Amino acid sequence: MPFRMLWTMVGQNFKMQRHVMIPFILALSVIFGIEFILLSLYMNDYVQHRSDTLPAFIAIGNFFMSVLGFIFILYANRFMMKRCQRELAMYMILGMEKKHFQLIMLVEMVYQYIVVGILSISGGYLFGALTFMLLNKLLHQTNMSLIDYPFNTTSMLITLLMLAGLMLFLFIMNNIRVLFQSPIKLIQQQQVTEKRLPKPILYILLVIGIIAIAVSYNIALSDALLTQSIFQLFNAVFLVMLGTYCLFISLGVLLLEWLQKIPKLYYHPKYFFVISGLRSRINTNAIGLASISILCTFLIVTLGMTITTYRGIDQRITTLMPDQYKISVQGNVKTDKTVQHKVHGLKHEIKNNAKIDFFKEIPVAMIASTYQSPNTFNKEETNTARFHISNPYLILMTQEDYNKVATHKVNLNDNEVGLASSSLILKKLKKINLMDTQFKAKQVDELSYTYQMPEGLMVITPSDQRYNQIANYYMDGLYSSSRHLSTYETTFINFNIMTKDVSHFNKIMNHLEDKYKVDIQSRDETATMLYELNGGLIFIGIIVSIILLLGTFLMMYYKNIAEGYEDRRNYQIMKKVGIEDERIKSTINHQIIWIFALPILVAMVHVAVAFKYIFTLLGILSITNMGEFATSYIGVFITVIAIYALMYWVTSRIYYLIVHRQF
């Protein structure tokens, strides 16, 4: 075949299928542009030297992006090849050899590779600079410039090699799918409609879907500790996905069949074509619509968690470190003379090297327990020294020590204890069982001067005697019987330096830690660590959100195109039987709107039910501000609905062009 003829056929095919190929090329360019950005950031010397955790977060983000992007590319390629099958079949009937088809597909792939390569590398470098600046803003690093983000040739070569590997894989897969079938089969595949499932199967799927959704919603709505919620997360996600697919496949069809059995409704001129058309559409598109719904759910959840995490960073720094410095000393300064001597020497040396406000001393004991709903804390029977994330820890302190530093003082009777926790469950306790004894519970302000644990329960005792009783009861048999209570006790000393320049004290911190065998935390170090952790998580959230948004758009776009080609035939049939244009347009509009409104509505219901569950999970990042969380999700709901409506408007324009034979 002459090259000129080959190029003419490739150009003609691109012109005919441009509404399918252009979104595919743009989607590939976005995905590999992000790949180039992530590789450039990962290999960037500035990133590698300034942060220990960020390269790991970039690698995790790249993994999620690659997996999701590969799935969406396979979906788009499958749809694109289905649109090309008819043309290929006609060429085969006219006598063209298979090797010529392979040559045509190869030239198309090379053309796509060149275009995608240019767009992804050039666009990736430009947006990579913006991403680099965004990352440094998230990490609160100000001593950077664009000079620190040079063009990375290695990243470019790896990106182009990955793109070439993907194109080769798609080329081989398309050859297997198309060239090993006869032209008659290719044409028949275009005309095959999805078979309707038997009613017994639909009812079985309906029951499975209802049970799966009910169980997943029960998990989401039940009161649970953070650790329990984390362990149940994958079960809840799997069940809600299973239930969504089963209900989309079964419930829509059964509901429409039930409506068809109501003569007054079904045979009404306004609803007859809508109901009958929806029956066919739901049956054909159930899996695709369920997939769009799941993608929208993940998108809303990911965006909401990302924005909430970003908004709450400064507040969490203040919560974790209300003062500039926090010293942790093993033992109880009130009862242990060795600790008293150590603390006295430490405080004296600090005063000699810095001008401070005053020391806040808070001795506490932290002991493991086993929580039993609704309000019982049993003794932990484990004899190993491992940290048990599945059980809450009791953080004990006396009323006297609490009142020294608390803004609102507490006055407890002998049968009362004060409770403070960030857990939604533990905040509700009015009574509590400790040592097999029931106490009245007073909810008090949570202190930030001691341990900060997502599921820790601070217990304020009315006296030293009660403090010792509770502590000795829960440590009995725990780890080793030879251990003394002081093993579980820590004295926290908080203070601020009154001068702006704290560099001298920061220089001697390591010396003080080594000399007195203590741990000294500074607010600046905590802020840096938190900015790196949360900045990395926010970055992953942004990357995943972009890919989910891209996947949702691709599925909506190609689903609308498929509906357009199907409705082109239906439109002509309805015109031939004498139905007026206005009625045809109204009928199709109602069907399309229902079809594409359903996924976003289901996604919003899923997220609304999981609202409390998501907030509980965010407790692992010490996010406890419900108002901030709620406003973040309200904003995300509005934004996603607006974006979804915009995507529908864009795709529906192509749909109407197809129906009216302009494509």
What residue segments make up the domains of the chain, in order of their start?
Answer: 1-192, 193-321+525-662, 325-496
Note the helical H segments in 139-198.
153-179, 183-191
pLDDT of amino acid 18: 80
pTM comes to 0.82
Per-residue pLDDT reduced to its tens digit, 20-34? 888 889 999 999 999
- Give 295's contacts (C-beta < 8 A, 6+ positions apart): 548, 551, 552, 555
Query: What's the pLDDT band for 417 if we cut at 50, 70, 90?
Result: very high
Q: Which amino acid is at 95?
A: G
Average pLDDT, the chain: 82
Bridge partners for 459 per DSSP: 396, 419
Q: Which amino acid is at 450?
A: T
pLDDT of amino acid 568: 74
pLDDT of amino acid 387: 47
Q: What percent of the chain has pLDDT over 70?
A: 86
As a whole number of angstroms, the distance between CA 33 and CA 128 comes to 9
Residue pair 72/550 in contact (Cβ under 8 Å)? The answer is yes
pLDDT of amino acid 374: 82
What are the b/e assignments for 170-183, b being 16+ CB within 10 Å? bbeebeebbeebeb
As a whole number of angstroms, the distance between CA 560 and CA 288 comes to 11
Query: What's the pLDDT band for 383 if we cut at 50, 70, 90?
Result: very low
As a whole number of angstroms, the distance between CA 595 and CA 397 comes to 59
Per-residue pLDDT reduced to its tens digit, 331-347? 888 888 888 999 999 99
Q: Which residue has the higher pLDDT, 616 or 161?
A: 161
Is it the case that residue 120 has pLDDT exceeding 90?
A: yes
For range 350-379, the mean pLDDT = 86
Longest dimension (CA), the chain: 100
Bridge partners for 366 per DSSP: 395
Residue 210: alpha-carbon gap to chain centroid: 25
Structure token digits, residue 441: 């519970």
Give me the residue label for tokens 């609304």. Answer: 608
As a whole number of angstroms, the distance between CA 567 and CA 544 comes to 34
DSSP-assigned letter for residue 619: G
Give me the residue label for tokens 């003080």. Answer: 512
Is it the case that residue 238 has pLDDT exceeding 80?
A: yes
Query: What's the pLDDT band for 165 if we cut at 50, 70, 90?
Result: very high
Structure token digits, residue 491: 């004295």
**Pick from 79-93, 343-357, 615-629: least confident:** 79-93
CB atoms under 10 Å from CB of 458, counted, come to: 26
Is it the case that residue 384 has pLDDT exceeding 50?
A: no
Residue pair 395/366 in contact (Cβ under 8 Å)? The answer is yes
Residue pair 248/281 in contact (Cβ under 8 Å)? The answer is no
> Rounded to the nearest 5 degrees, what angle is found at the Cα of 44, between the Cα atoms of 42 and 48?
75
The three-state secondary structure class of 423 is coil
Residue pair 343/493 in contact (Cβ under 8 Å)? The answer is yes
pLDDT of amino acid 462: 92
Query: What's the pLDDT band for 177 if we cut at 50, 70, 90?
Result: confident
Per-residue pLDDT reduced to its tens digit, 60-117? 888 888 888 888 898 888 888 777 776 777 777 766 676 777 788 888 888 899 999 9
pLDDT of amino acid 386: 47
Candidates 415, 422, 418, 364; CA nearest to 392 is 422
Is it the case that residue 598 has pLDDT exceeding 90?
A: no
Q: Which residue has the higher pLDDT, 373 or 127?
A: 127
For range 36-57, the mean pLDDT = 84
pLDDT of amino acid 385: 44
**Pick from 229-233, 375-379, 566-570: least confident:** 566-570
**Pick from 84-93, 111-120, 167-176, 414-423: least confident:** 84-93
Is it the case that residue 382 has pLDDT exceeding 60?
A: no
Per-residue pLDDT reduced to its tens digit, 522-556? 888 888 888 888 888 888 888 888 888 888 888 88
As a whole number of angstroms, the distance between CA 195 and CA 435 comes to 64
**What distances in angstroms separate CA 468 from CA 365, 403, 428, 435, one per listed residue?**
10, 18, 26, 12
φ, ψ of residue 279 in degrees (nearest 5):
-55, -45
Residue pair 540/56 in contact (Cβ under 8 Å)? The answer is no
Q: Is 210 exposed, middle or buried (0-12, 13-18, 19+ CB in 10 A)?
A: middle
Per-residue pLDDT reduced to its tens digit, 182-237? 666 665 555 555 567 788 888 999 999 999 999 999 998 887 777 777 788 888 99
As a whole number of angstroms, the distance between CA 477 and CA 31 comes to 56
